[in-house]
Amino acid sequence: MQNTTDLKRLLVLDDEPDVATTLCLMAEGAFFETQHTSDAEVFLEKIDTWSPTHVVVDLQMPDRDGVEVLQTLAKMGCGAAVIIASGLGGRILDSAARAAKENGLQFIGTLSKPFSRAAFRALLTTDVPTSLPRKVTSSAANLSSVTEEQLADALHNQVFVAHFQPKISCTNGALAGFECLARWPLKDGSMIPPDLFISLAEQTGLIHELSRQVYHFAMANLPQQVHSQGVKIALNLSPINLKDEGFPRWLLEKCEENDVAPSQVILEVTETASMDSPLALLENLTQFRIKGFQLSIDDFGVGYSSLVQLARLPFSELKIDQMFVKTVATSKESQKIVTAIVNLGKSLGLDVTAEGVEDPWALNFLHEIGCDEAQGYFIARPMATPAASAWTQPPFEV
Q: Point out which residues bind ligand C2E (CB under 6 A).
A: 133, 165, 181-182, 193-195, 198, 211, 214, 236, 238, 268, 270, 298-299, 322, 355-358, 375-377, 382
Q: How far is the CB of 114 from ligand C2E (least distance, A)?
A: 32
- Asked whether position 298 contacts Ca ion by CB under 5 A, the answer is yes
Distances (CA, A) of 203 to 151, 240, 274, 377: 12, 9, 11, 30
Backbone φ and ψ of 301, nearest 5°: 110, -20
Q: How far is the CB of 309 from ligand C2E (least distance, A)?
A: 17
Q: How far is the CB of 179 from Ca ion (least distance, A)?
A: 6
Complex with Ca ion: residue 86 or 353, whichever CB lies closer? 353
What residue 14 binds from ligand C2E, Ca ion, none (CB within 5 to 8 A, per partner kind)?
A: none
Complex with ligand C2E: residue 98 or 377, whichever CB lies closer? 377
What residue 195 binds from ligand C2E, Ca ion, none (CB within 5 to 8 A, per partner kind)?
A: ligand C2E
CB 126 within 8 A of CB 109: yes
What residue 182 binds from Ca ion, ligand C2E, none (CB within 5 to 8 A, per partner kind)?
A: ligand C2E
Complex with ligand C2E: residue 66 or 382, whichever CB lies closer? 382
Query: 86, 236, 331, 334: which one contacts Ca ion (CB under 5 A)?
Result: 236
Complex with Ca ion: residue 86 or 236, whichever CB lies closer? 236
Q: How far is the CB of 318 from ligand C2E (least distance, A)?
A: 13
- Which residue's beta carbon is nearest to the bound ligand C2E? 376
- Asked whether position 299 contacts Ca ion by CB under 5 A, the answer is yes
Q: How far is the CB of 163 from ligand C2E (least distance, A)?
A: 7
Number of residues that bind Ca ion (CB under 5 A): 4
Complex with Ca ion: residue 14 or 271, whichever CB lies closer? 271
Distances (CA, A) of 317 to 128, 219, 236, 240, 265: 36, 21, 13, 20, 12
- Asked whether position 372 contacts Ca ion by CB under 5 A, the answer is no
Q: For residues 255-284, which are near Ca ion according to CB under 5 A?
A: 268
Q: How far is the CB of 214 from ligand C2E (least distance, A)?
A: 4
What residue 345 binds from ligand C2E, Ca ion, none (CB within 5 to 8 A, per partner kind)?
A: none
Complex with ligand C2E: residue 69 or 357, whichever CB lies closer? 357
Complex with ligand C2E: residue 225 or 238, whichever CB lies closer? 238
Residues that bind Ca ion (CB under 5 A): 236, 268, 298-299
